[in-house]
Amino acid sequence: MLNRRTLLGAGTVAALALMTGCTGGAGDGSGASGDFSGEVKGAITVLTNRTDLVETKLPEYAKAFQAKYPGTTVTFEGVTNYEDDVTTQLSGGDYGDVLLIPNSVAVDQYPQFFEPLGDAADLRTRFRFIDQTTYQGKAYGLSLGGIAKGFVVNKRIWAEAGITAPPKTPEEFLAGLRAIAAGGAVPYYTNYKDGWPLSEWNNQRAVFADPQINEQLPADAAPWQPGRIQYLADGLLFDIVHARLTEKDPLTTNWEASKPMLATGKTASMLLGSWAVPQVQDAAKAAGANPDDIAFWPFPYQKDGKFHARIDGDYTAAISRNSGNKATAKAWLDWFATESGFAADNQAIPPAVDQPLPAALQAVTGAGTELMETPQAVANAGKEDEIIRESEIDLKGDIYRQKLVDVARGAAEGDKESFFADLNRRWGAAQSRVMK
């Protein structure tokens, strides 16, 4: 799978603090177009978080690259604690030739550490997810693969309940879950205990087909009111739990156990995203079930008669400003993004726009779902995170959604209206201070 991005720990924050204002051996940060002239030959070191592939699949990619470019050598450095360790390496100036950009590095710091790959406007014609690493018109990284946001379902269980196509509304979705419950399977699995899957409910912003939604959210003083994305997404989660269409005891959920449960039809649905499809399919194979039962469905909402699902890239790879072999590093990065087959091997959205989508996404796009990137805010850049901190509502996390589940199942005081009213009150108070 594509690894989920690692949450920043105290070590990463500390390393970043050391790095701020002290770039070690980093470049001058001029932001000029990168110089990749020279012959493609010699050795490069590639830093990766995929420690599981360093001795297996990655050397196969390197062998294919070296066959295309004789005289080159690619060595991989697997980093288990990638975020913390590589952030520290950045401050020291020695961080290989090609690396995944740590989440801790702010966009305006990219010119200090990474070689600009070219004009973002030009690269957008060839690659998806370019906006994720664009600063002042220059792109500094290429995504190695993307994912779509939505539901991973056991379509056999849904079909046995009479539903053979993705529900178009939250009401239809709830009706389908009730039909599944009548058949004996658990309709929806929250993964409450592990927590992080609940954050996926924040990743449905494309459903309104509004490219300005990330710009508009910080300007909204009450996102949990009808007609807003937070009300739509969190409201569906609340209604699912309140109707007792989930596992009996969310305190005992288990992420690893949930995959074979979905694979074999003991459960029918989980909001995760397309990255989970191959994992659940592998669980199906291991259990002797049919991996073709596992599918990706969009969130149950249509705009102008069409589903929309958000897509974004996973980690992006960049070239070190300190690389002594930038020509070979650039050739590797271009080749890996366009010719290696890495995205296809992981059933991810390929970074190259002219390459086919994975089968699970071809199925939903063929049925009328539009995949959309939702651009980051520009005028209100950083304001959403400020409001999150001020309000102490972890919009991108899982704590308040665990509270939502508790309220919905009767384990905490309140109801849907009072819970959302409190969220609006706290968000609005913080928003008024941040946006004044």
Beta-carbon contacts of 50 under 8 Å, excluding residues fewer than 6 positions away, are 3, 58, 78
Collect all residues with Cβ–Cβ distance below 8 Å to 435 and sequence separation of at least 6: 218, 219, 380, 383, 387
Give the C-alpha separation, 249 to 247, whole Å: 6
Tell me if the domain spanning 146-313+355-436 has CATH number 3.40.1800.10: no
What DSSP designation does 132 have?
G
The CATH code belonging to domain 10-144+315-350 is 3.40.190.10
pLDDT given at position 32: 53
What pLDDT score was predicted for residue 33?
64
Whether the domain at 10-144+315-350 and the domain at 146-313+355-436 fall into the same CATH topology: yes
Q: Cβ of 59: how many Cβ atoms within 10 Å?
A: 14
pLDDT along the chain (436 residues), means of 10: 33 36 44 81 97 94 98 97 93 96 88 96 95 91 95 98 98 98 98 94 96 95 97 98 97 96 98 94 97 97 96 93 97 97 93 94 93 89 91 94 98 98 98 95
Indicate the domain borders of the chain.
10-144+315-350, 146-313+355-436
pLDDT of residue 108: 87
pLDDT recorded at residue 106: 82
Which residue is listed with tokens 């991996």?
291
* pLDDT at position 368: 92
Q: Yes or no: say if 309 and 150 are a contact pair by the CB < 8 Å rule.
A: yes
DSSP 354: T
Maximum CA pair distance of the chain?
68
Model pTM score: 0.83
d(CA 318, CA 216): 30
The two tokens of residue 373 are 């990137």
Give the C-alpha distances (Å, rounded to integers) separating 373 from 46, 104, 192, 215, 312.
Answer: 28, 22, 28, 13, 6
